[in-house]
Structure 1
Amino acid sequence: MAGVNTKDFTDAAFETDVLKSDVPVLVDFWAQWCGPCRQMTPTIDAVATEYDGRVKVGKLNVDEQGQTAMRYNIRSIPTLLLFKGGQVVEQRIGAMGKSDVQKMIDAHV
């Protein structure tokens, strides 16, 4: 389902893939049944391609990877968290346009 540059994050590899990353990481918390989440997919894929090499961009399915979703108190989806140096530096809840996602990332790249 994800684009070629969009990562698929898991509970098991979250620490390695996200928290210990040497570049900022944008995580889209989503679920298959969530309409606004599905609407965000082309935006997330486009951003993943545009920022390839500078930012990791990926999705975490809250139904399949609930441990990480609970850890970050994800109560509404879609939720975007931007991690830098293992810490959340930006958070947005709800569907948004590509320019809003870019603004979120650009402040930390």
Structure 2
Amino acid sequence: MIELTKDNFDAEVNIDGVVMVDYWSESCERCIELMPDVIKLSEEYGEQIKFCKLNIKGSRRLAMAQKVMGLPSIVFYKNGERLEHLSGEELEVEDITSTIKNYL
């Protein structure tokens, strides 16, 4: 997974194809719980979808500009356009997997 920052966000996300961005924080327990599963998904589907993660610590303005107001948040982009936003404490890896399969 590619680590995003405010410096490389546009270059990594505004590309041809589908990009999934995992917005997370060390203080978000659910984010930490989901991380191993998200990494497995990146290994399984990484040839078809670009997987990135953004620690919102130090990048809050960027997250807010992307309309990410709560964690965990998984946002899908295609050709630089925001497509779908999955969020909330109830977010499960099955929800993420299902959305990935929709964009394959």
TM-score (norm 1): 0.86
Aligned with 1:93 (options 77, 87, 91): 87
Is 1:71 the counterpart of 2:65? The answer is yes
Secondary structure of 1:11 counterpart: coil
**Partners of 2:37 and 2:93 within 8 A in 1:** yes
Q: What is the rounded CA distance, in whole Å, between the counterparts of 2:58 and 2:41 in structure 1?
A: 23
Aligned with 1:8 (options 3, 15, 34): 3
**Partners of 2:17 and 2:49 within 8 A in 1:** yes
Q: What is the rounded CA distance, in whole Å, between the counterparts of 1:49 and 1:23 in structure 2?
A: 17
Unaligned ranges ≥5, structure 1: 1-5
Secondary structure of 2:76 counterpart: strand
Matches within 5 A, 1:11-90: 11-19=6-14, 21-90=15-84
Superposed CA deviations along residues 43-101 of structure 1, whole A, max 9, x for unmatched, are: 11011101112111121011122232021121110111000011111111125333221
Secondary structure of 2:68 counterpart: coil
- Matching residue's letter, 1:9: L
Q: What is the rounded CA distance, in whole Å, between the counterparts of 2:44 and 2:94 in structure 1?
A: 12
Residue aligning to 1:3: none
- Matching residue's letter, 1:99: E
Unaligned ranges ≥5, structure 2: none
Q: What is the rounded CA distance, in whole Å, between the counterparts of 2:29 and 2:52 in structure 1?
A: 18
Q: CA RMSD in A?
A: 1.3
